[in-house]
Amino acid sequence: MKNAVAVTGMGMITAIGDDVTQNYHSLFQKQHGIKTLQHISGKHQHQTLVGEVAWTNAELVEKLGAEVPKNSSRTSLLAAIAAREALSQAGITVTEDMPIVMGTSVGGMDIFEQHFPHLLQDNQLIQRRDVGDSSRVLAQVLGSNSLVTSISTACSSAANAIAFGARLVLSGRADRVLVGGSDALSRFTINGFDSLMLLSDELNRPFDANRSGLNLGEGAGFLVLESIESLKKAAKPILGYLSGFSNANDAFHQTSTSEHGEGAYLAMKQALASAALTPQAIDYINAHGTATENNDRTEATAIVRLFEDQIPPFSSTKAYTGHTLGASAGIEAIYALLALQHQLAFANLRFENAMDRPSLEPIADHQPAVIRHVLSNSFGFGGNCSTLIFSHEQSLY
Amino acid sequence: MNKVYINAASICVATPDQQDAADNWLKVDLPKITHKLLSPNATRRMSKAVKMGIFCSLEAVNHLDPATLDGILVGSSKGCLIDSDKFLQSIVEQQEEFLSPTPFIQSTHNTVAGQIALLIKNQGYNMTYSQGRISFESAVLDAYIQLTMNERNTLLVGAVEELSAISIKVSSSFDETASPQQTTGISQSEGAGFFIFSNQQDQHTRAELTDISIYSATTKLSSEAQLLAFVKKNKVSIEQIDAIIYGSKNTENPFDAISTSFNKTRIINYQLQIGCFDTDIVFALDLALKLLYNQTLVQKSSPIENGSSSYQNILICNFGEQNSLMLLSGC
């Protein structure tokens, strides 16, 4: 595994918990976090089902207990909470020289749209809209003076941010990096997915024959990645390894995926090659599984193409959190690491009936198993398909 | 470690004539795109950002066997602003009812990279970076690492920004005193630039990208110290740098604050020529490639006197919230 980097910290906030422990507890108890929208006024408030973080922005600032710039986006606040937890677990107090790579789809749209088009004569609000502003605020809160950058490739953003962070480490440009993703719910994305008729008015049911679309969610998930070489000098607990990563393009359509899931197939195949693993080595797949007709059918098709008749247990955890867009791969990276840590493949909630073509069943209940390698998928608009592979702490040596 | 070469370049920016006549906002005249891959129908639906991206990409990949292209990396600070504005406005005006999904679909930051992939049927790596004035350099850094580590061999790397009428209106509606022209004398503009990066030299190779660095100037490590350290790391002396081409977020000349180290170096700010946009550094890269490849630059309103000096090493600097340095060498 020449491409492996160690994970030494993880932190998150989602609709099912304010930290990693709470998230694991909710997963374990099969408690989802999908409720009607509370924080965003307008047509969708108290109507549309979403995986919303319960806290208001003011409460998030209070939780953070840090000085934050005026009108900081919710995206940056969620990111800061998750990032703080990850750094604390990795025992990192000095962040000055630590690069930050953040994935997000719409950045500070949540705060910008509240004032558009009347921006309160506030120049800063214009800036808030820039995707890179949320990561800039995050770096400011954390006190990083190193490279700070953002990747915005829709729903695979965080996976690509994690992979780029790994490249910074593998190339020797950094000993450790903070990587992940954050996206707040916004009127912009809720109405966007609504206009595409992709929102379900029921609780989402990934991979079910009767699935009727997705529920949006919000949150953040961040990891600390460190070089194996530098950990040899200063040992600390390793939570698992990022052992493979890949990104490929479906090159089929801006929003829908090709019939045979070509991009998804290529991403999974290339990630396995980068980890030097065969498909048989994968013990659990945390699928993208948005519960839209198109995604689940084509993702399942790609899984069948690659794994043939030896399909590992797979599930989508979006039934718990909703689809958190640019943050999803950061959040689900942590679920993959929790699956390794607890040797447990998570139940795909609300699964009842298998799809027709392909006929493929996710695990309907939690499944204790020997889990050494977990594959995590994230696919986005623009044909953007990314796969990460996480491996058990004892799998390398 | 492999070396990184730049084998093709295409940019689309405002002309100096336009800049002379422009007000605060300087729009690019879109070149007509005629290409066998594009139907007129297809281009009609494309936003300006996508069109500029497609135009430059097609030019940049012109000499390339499409099968050898391993991916597309784009930097864009503001992304597809026109469609994003359009969707925001429809939410407000139509009170969230009967919204057309088209502007939402096209508002996604990675629309340009995705559309290029779709057009040239590229299933390789597809990445979009968005981080203010270092959006392009983030993409360059990613490409540089992958090429030097031999993860991939040939990549299309570019950047694009578009102006949007709605955003201009919103910005102009307040803070009249701080309009861009009055604060910096440089218009807000738009543009694109795409380049072929490869770890293989070919007959079209323009220059070598020796190194790239993105950093924040801190009290401990000033811009000057970072710059000198970067040059030294790459085993080049300041005397060997034939020109420094720089862009900046601010009006003041960043080199005024820097010591006499650069007294003898030709220093060029390009933004007076084309206006400024967050990824305007693509113009600096194109200019550097031309200087290294042609050795002189004969161009109307060029800021560079047509000297006989030869160009071997050019440093490109970008100063903003984060700074960047790119060192280019002639091949």
A248/B123 Cβ within 8 A: yes
A113/B91 Cβ within 8 A: yes
Domains A5-233 and A242-391 share a fold: yes
Nearest-CA distance from A288 to chain B in Å? Answer: 18
pLDDT digits (tens, 9 = 90+) for A317-353: 999 999 999 999 999 999 999 999 999 999 999 999 9
**Bridge partners, B9 (sequence order):** B195
Residue A116: the pLDDT is: 86
Q: Which residues of B touch A247 (CB under 8 A)?
A: 125-127
Provide the token pair at B92: 């407000």
Select the more confidently predicted residue: B275 or A363: A363
Q: Does the pLDDT of residue A235 top 70, yes or no? A: yes
Contacts for A390-393: CB closer than 8 Å, 24+ residues apart: A390/A7, A390/A240, A390/A241, A390/A242, A390/A243, A390/A333, A390/A336, A390/A337, A390/A340, A391/A1, A391/A4, A391/A240, A391/A241, A391/A243, A391/A275, A391/A340, A392/A240, A392/A241, A392/A340, A393/A238, A393/A239, A393/A240, A393/A241, A393/A340
Query: What's the CA gap between A212 and A222, in Å, rounded?
Result: 30
Q: Which residues of B touch A326 (CB under 8 A)?
A: none
Torsion angle, alpha carbons of A225, A229, A230, A236, to 10: 70
- Judge whether A155 counts as a catalytic residue: yes
Nearest-CA distance from B175 to chain A in Å? Answer: 7
If DSSP codes are grouped into helix, strand and coil, which group holds residue A31? Answer: coil
**Bridge partners, B193 (sequence order):** B11, B159
Residue spans of the domains in chain A: they are 5-233, 242-391
Q: How many CB pairs under 8 A join A and B?
A: 184
Task: For residue B243, report the phi and psi dihedrals to the nearest 5 degrees.
Answer: -160, 150
**Interface mutation target, options A249, A253, A265, A379, chain B, most CBs of B under 10 Å:** A249
Residue of A32, A44, A288, A392 with catalytic role: A288
Residue A321: the pLDDT is: 98
**Interface mutation target, options A118, A254, A294, A379, chain B, most CBs of B under 10 Å:** A254
DSSP-derived letter for residue A346 is P
Residues near A7 by beta carbon (within 8 Å), at least 6 away in sequence = A223, A224, A225, A226, A238, A239, A240, A241, A242, A337, A390
**Average pLDDT for A153-181:** 98
Q: Which residues of A touch B162 (CB under 8 A)?
A: none
Query: What's the CA gap between A79 and A377, in Å, rounded?
Result: 21
Return the closest-CA partner of residue B285 out of B256, B321, B245, B320. Answer: B245
Residue B258: the pLDDT is: 63
Whole-complex ipTM = 0.97
The answer as to CATH 3.40.50.620 being correct for domain A242-391 is: no
Tell me if chain A has a CB within 8 Å of the CB of B96: yes
Mean pLDDT (10-residue bins), chain B, 331 residues:
97 80 80 79 87 95 94 97 96 96 96 96 98 98 98 98 90 59 72 98 96 90 88 93 90 68 82 90 97 72 53 94 96 91
Contacts for A261-264: CB closer than 8 Å, 24+ residues apart: A261/A298, A261/A299, A261/A300, A261/A301, A261/A302, A261/A305, A262/A302, A262/B123, A263/A379, A263/A383, A263/A384, A263/A385, A263/B123, A264/A288, A264/A298, A264/A299, A264/A302, A264/A303, A264/A377, A264/A379, A264/A385
Looking at the partner chain, which of A42, A170, A266 has a beta carbon nearest the beta carbon of B123? A266
Q: Does the pLDDT of residue A265 top 60, yes or no? A: yes
Residue of A155, A373, A385, A392 with catalytic role: A155
Residue A80: the pLDDT is: 98
Burial class for A205, CB neighbours closer than 10 Å (0-12, 13-18, 19+): buried
Query: What's the CA gap between B121 and B66, in Å, rounded?
Result: 8
DSSP H helices, A227-261, are: 228-233
- Judge whether A323 counts as a catalytic residue: yes
Secondary element (H or E) of residue A85: helix A74-89
pLDDT digits (tens, 9 = 90+) for A27-77: 999 999 999 999 999 999 999 999 999 999 999 999 999 899 999 999 999
Q: Does the pLDDT of residue A361 top 80, yes or no? A: yes
B123/A251 Cβ within 8 A: yes
Q: What is the length of chain A? A: 397
Residue B108: the pLDDT is: 96
- B275 backbone φψ class: left, alpha, beta (φ>0; ψ -120 to 50): left
Select the more confidently predicted residue: B179 or A155: A155
Q: Does the pLDDT of residue A269 top 60, yes or no? A: yes
Residue B308: the pLDDT is: 45
A194/B214 Cβ within 8 A: no
Min mean pLDDT across A110-119, A192-201, B73-82, B238-247 is at A110-119
Looking at the partner chain, which of A130, A153, A253 has a beta carbon nearest the beta carbon of B128? A153
Provide the token pair at A238: 């390793």
Q: Does the pLDDT of residue A127 top 80, yes or no? A: yes
A132/B135 Cβ within 8 A: yes
Q: Which residues of A touch B233 (CB under 8 A)?
A: none
**Average pLDDT for A136-160:** 96
Chain A residue nearest residue B213, CA to CA? A147
Query: What's the CA gap between A112 and A42, in Å, rounded?
Result: 16
**Bridge partners, A34 (sequence order):** A51
**3-state SS, one letter per residue, for chain B:** CCCCEEEEEEEEECCHHHHHHCCCECCCCCCCCCCCCCCHHHHHCCCHHHHHHHHHHHHHCCCCCHHHCCEEEEECCCCCHHHHHHHHHHHHHCCCCCCCCHHHHHHCCCHHHHHHHHHHCCCCEEEEECCHHHHHHHHHHHHHHHHHCCCCCEEEEEEEECCCHHHHHHHHCCCHHHCHHHHHCCCECCEEEEEEEECCCCCCCCEEEEEEEEECCCCCCCHHHHHHHHHHHCCCCHHHCCEEEEEECCCCCCCCCCCHHHCCCEEEECHHHHCECCCCHHHHHHHHHHHHHHCCCCCCCCCCCCCCCCCCEEEEEEECCCEEEEEEECC
pLDDT digits (tens, 9 = 90+) for B123-167: 999 999 999 999 999 999 999 999 999 999 999 999 999 999 988
Return the closest-CA partner of residue A267 out of A156, A171, A149. Answer: A156
The answer as to CATH 3.30.465.10 being correct for domain A5-233 is: no
Looking at the partner chain, which of A131, A136, A253 has a beta carbon nearest the beta carbon of B79? A131
Provide the token pair at B223: 């811009």
Secondary element (H or E) of residue A159: helix A157-170
In order of their start, the domains of chain B are 5-198 (3.40.47.10), 207-329 (3.40.47.10)
Share of chain A above pLDDT 90, in %: 89
B149/A171 Cβ within 8 A: yes
Residue A212: the pLDDT is: 97
